[in-house]
Structure 1
Amino acid sequence: MDCLIIGGGIVGAACARELARAGATVDLLEADYLGSGATSAGMGHLVTLQGVPGELEFTRHGVEAWRREADELKRAAEYVQTGTLWIASGPSEVELLEQQSDAFAAAGVDAELLTRTGLVAAEPALAEAACAGLRVPGDAIIYAPKAAQWLGRQSCDGRLRVHQGVRVTRVGQDWAEADDGRRFAAAHVIIAAGLQAKALLPDLPLVAKRGHLMITDRYPGMLRHHVLEIGYAASTHAQSSVSVSFNVQPRPTGQILIGSSREIGVESASEDPAIVRQLARRAMQFLPGLAEVSVLRAWTGVRAASASGMPIIGRAKLPGPLGLVWVAAGHEGLGVSTALVTASIVRSRIVGESLPEGLEQLYGEGVS
């Protein structure tokens, strides 16, 4: 069995390693370098999230897969189990925390409701605007580009071959063609190229969602958990043109990542100063100490989102008589969290294995 994977971000690299470990000969084609694109632009938050139907089960499996990974990958990816701290700023949001706590308990996810006193003990720097919290200790953070690069370096006895600087412009059921005329052939073609998947499959229901992030200088000890407001989950699937929510992460370097925003349909990589200011204001509402820190830079990334809010993992029809190809795209902000479980789903569908309960209902048919 041989496979072509188009896209060397974290999802494509995870799929490549998983198929090679299953015995396939895999050629991984990346237009730039492994871990570039959306993988290099995100926060690297391994988060259990409850949003659209199926999302909790999917992300639970994804976070657990990272937790079970080899120590070598965790070290390379700078894996730290910070836990996630969801915060509420009023009675209606406390109700949302309680609902999320109940849903997590039903799914077997360890989570702890915190009063204001418990919240202050967990994160002393939080403002009084944060009145309650939900701590999910099993969540973690990684540096996603390094994770993708490590995954792509696993040769699996020579079965995994990486081709960087290969921009695929056309695909068929068993081939891919690059812009320089090179042609690659395999029994299975898997498109894991984020938003670029739409260039190869114009009918794929993907939409761009640009996001802004900032990073500070080093302030060790300022924050312990990845902290975000309970409204973040809703904002990820909001239909408004621009949404901004409080979302901050302590990096192992002592720096603080500050996010996050979403702009539907925007593919430009340029920063919008007005949105950067909104991010800063929102962050300082909950972490007033950020008013005194030095921000080193801001940048953007473009997420590929599906119409349903869940990634497309299955087979898709190519234009005309070209046949079917496999697709793993549309993860939006959850590609890092769910890369390993996405790879397991792709392998299972191609090899013909069964999926764990919960994932079978989501992706058991294998056809998009």
Structure 2
Amino acid sequence: MVQTPEADIAVVGAGIVGVACALQLARQGRRVLLVDRQAPGQGASWGNAGHLATEQVFPIADLSILKRLPRMLLDPMGPLRLDWKYLPKALPWFTRLLLNLRPAPFQRSVAGIRTLNEGSLGAWQRLLGSIGRSELFQEDGSLLVFEKPESRQALEALRTRMQQQAVPVDFWSAETVREAAPQLSPSLLGGLFFPRTGHFIDPYRVVCELFEAAKASGVRFVQAQVDGGQLHSAGVSLASDQGTLNARQVLVSCGAHSAKLTAALTGKRVPLDTERGYHLMLPGEHQRLPFAVTSLERKFIMTPMAEGLRLAGTVEFAGLEAPPSMQRAWQLHRLSKGLFRHDLSIDGATPWMGFRPSLPDSLPVIDRVCDGRVLLAFGHQHLGLTQAAVTAEWVGRLAERAAGPAVGAYRLDRF
């Protein structure tokens, strides 16, 4: 006998995407049950780079990576690492990734990422303004710097590609960089400044503030591990370690853990893998940078936050079960040497690792399937924080049986 649904919609996943969606749905009059095995914001949302990366409109890889791949993979501390024990499981995902580097699918991915990113800044301004926490986001731009004369050509090519995609970008001379960020090394040769970007001063607090607003709007939270589920005439039943949870609809938004539940509910196997990312938090560095700065050659980002300076980056493919390689987090400090007039302090520094949920075409799944009983919002790769607020707005429209802008690019049945 099917029990009466205890919620209109169960949102599985209390990261930044899930919490933002739960708040949106509650404001639309839904009885929302938010479910996660951890407290809200404890996954990738806790330790992301904090950068609103609206300028990153290109997929996570392009054809140029093929030349660099062997050298990158042989460097255990390089920006990309593949655990060879994980290769057999990852091979199908990488095969799909390579197929998506062909011109037509690559351009579809660019168009899809750009559409989401173009709506992200305004969506975040609306969302944070609606809860009275606009100060958590600083719209102060971001800077990509370069050090080597031979990098100038690559930087100019990137600038041209960005301009072709209508991304606001300015070339900054070395003098302009020194004026804007005087603590950076005088050896830097310049960079690209992206004025329509910014950073969050505390990504975890953003999740917490949205969660408090969601609770005030009637969202109920249950800390439980969801292991599966099934659909029926009254909606959906989720099997969890806290018993069966019943709702009329379910939203799967549990990041890198979304594939198993999606398969159980829809019968569709999604090629979702995880890019393990690392950060190193430096609590003694509060005044080094006025905005987020990325190194073109060193391939990592430094973001000023309320609790210090966060160094973040690297991509590691090793799955969800392998223990973290925290030396990759400490490597970020070594990468920072030479970028400043004086080296950064690691006093009290803390390392971290989290899972970025990535699909081989670099686009998320944002969809409504199974006669509307299942909604999906996961797979945002490096752009989960950037795209969370606009994703929530789209999910709100999908829940009301309306299609979001260009929503076809993010459908489940593309796989």
Q: What's the TM-score, normalizing by structure 2?
A: 0.74
| Amino acid corresponding to residue 398 of structure 2 in structure 1 | R
| Amino acid corresponding to residue 171 of structure 2 in structure 1 | L
Residues 153-172 of structure 1: CA deviation (Å, up to 9, x unaligned) = 335885x4222312211122
1:346 aligns with 2:346: no
Counterpart of 1:330? 379
Q: Which moved more, 1:58-67 or 1:172-181?
A: 172-181
Q: Contact (CA 8 Å) 2:293, 2:302: kept in 1 or not?
A: yes
1:9 aligns with 2:9: no
From the superposition, tell whether residues 36 and 277 of structure 1 become closer, same or farther in structure 2 (CA, over 3 Å). closer
Q: Contact (CA 8 Å) 1:111, 1:135: kept in 2 or not?
A: yes
The counterpart of 1:286, out of the listed 334, 339, 360, is 339
Counterpart of 2:300? 246
Residues 37-58 of structure 1: CA deviation (Å, up to 9, x unaligned) = 1111212221111212132332
Counterpart of 1:234? none
| Amino acid corresponding to residue 207 of structure 2 in structure 1 | A
1:210 aligns with 2:210: no
Q: Contact (CA 8 Å) 1:168, 1:176: kept in 2 or not?
A: no
Identity of aligned residues (%): 23
1:51 aligns with 2:85: no
1:146 aligns with 2:153: no
From the superposition, tell whether residues 86 and 294 of structure 1 become closer, same or farther in structure 2 (CA, over 3 Å). same
TM superposition shift of 1:8: 0.9
| Amino acid corresponding to residue 293 of structure 2 in structure 1 | V
Q: Which has the higher helix share?
A: 2
1:312 aligns with 2:365: yes
Counterpart of 1:240? none
TM superposition shift of 1:132: 1.9
CA distance in 1, matches of 2:125, 2:161: 21
| Amino acid corresponding to residue 209 of structure 1 in structure 2 | E
CA distance in 2, matches of 1:98, 1:188: 48
The counterpart of 1:131, out of the listed 174, 182, 189, is 189
Q: What's the TM-score, normalizing by structure 1?
A: 0.83
Residues 309-367 of structure 1: CA deviation (Å, up to 9, x unaligned) = 111222467xxxx99732211112211111011112222223133434xx44634x675
Query: Helix, strand or coil for the counterpart of 1:228?
Result: strand
TM superposition shift of 1:76: 7.5
TM superposition shift of 1:277: 4.2
Q: Which moved more, 1:11-20 or 1:342-351?
A: 342-351
Query: Helix, strand or coil for the counterpart of 2:227?
Result: strand
Q: How many residues align?
A: 347
CA distance in 2, matches of 1:129, 1:28: 50
Query: Helix, strand or coil for the counterpart of 1:208?
Result: strand
| Amino acid corresponding to residue 314 of structure 1 in structure 2 | D
Counterpart of 1:237? none
CA distance in 1, matches of 2:398, 2:238: 24
Residues 50-84 of structure 1: CA deviation (Å, up to 9, x unaligned) = 21213233223112311333436463772222321
TM superposition shift of 1:189: 1.3
Q: Contact (CA 8 Å) 1:113, 1:133: kept in 2 or not?
A: yes
Counterpart of 1:238? none
The counterpart of 1:24, out of the listed 24, 27, 30, is 30
Counterpart of 1:195? 256
Q: Which moved more, 1:2-11 or 1:117-126?
A: 117-126
Query: Helix, strand or coil for the counterpart of 2:377?
Result: strand
Residues 228-285 of structure 1: CA deviation (Å, up to 9, x unaligned) = 1246xxxxxxxxxxxx7221011134x1111211101333574425423432222214
Query: Helix, strand or coil for the counterpart of 1:94?
Result: helix
Q: Contact (CA 8 Å) 1:20, 1:156: kept in 2 or not?
A: no
TM superposition shift of 1:216: 1.2
CA distance in 2, matches of 1:347, 1:217: 38
Counterpart of 2:144? 86
| Amino acid corresponding to residue 50 of structure 1 in structure 2 | V
Provide structure 1 residue ranges, at least 5 long, that are not aligned to the other structure.
Answer: 232-243
The counterpart of 1:301, out of the listed 345, 354, 357, is 354
From the superposition, tell whether residues 307 and 366 of structure 1 become closer, same or farther in structure 2 (CA, over 3 Å). closer
From the superposition, tell whether residues 123 and 29 of structure 1 become closer, same or farther in structure 2 (CA, over 3 Å). same
Query: Helix, strand or coil for the counterpart of 2:349?
Result: strand
Counterpart of 1:265? 318
Q: Contact (CA 8 Å) 2:365, 2:412: kept in 1 or not?
A: no
From the superposition, tell whether residues 66 and 260 of structure 1 become closer, same or farther in structure 2 (CA, over 3 Å). same
CA distance in 1, matches of 2:58, 2:132: 27
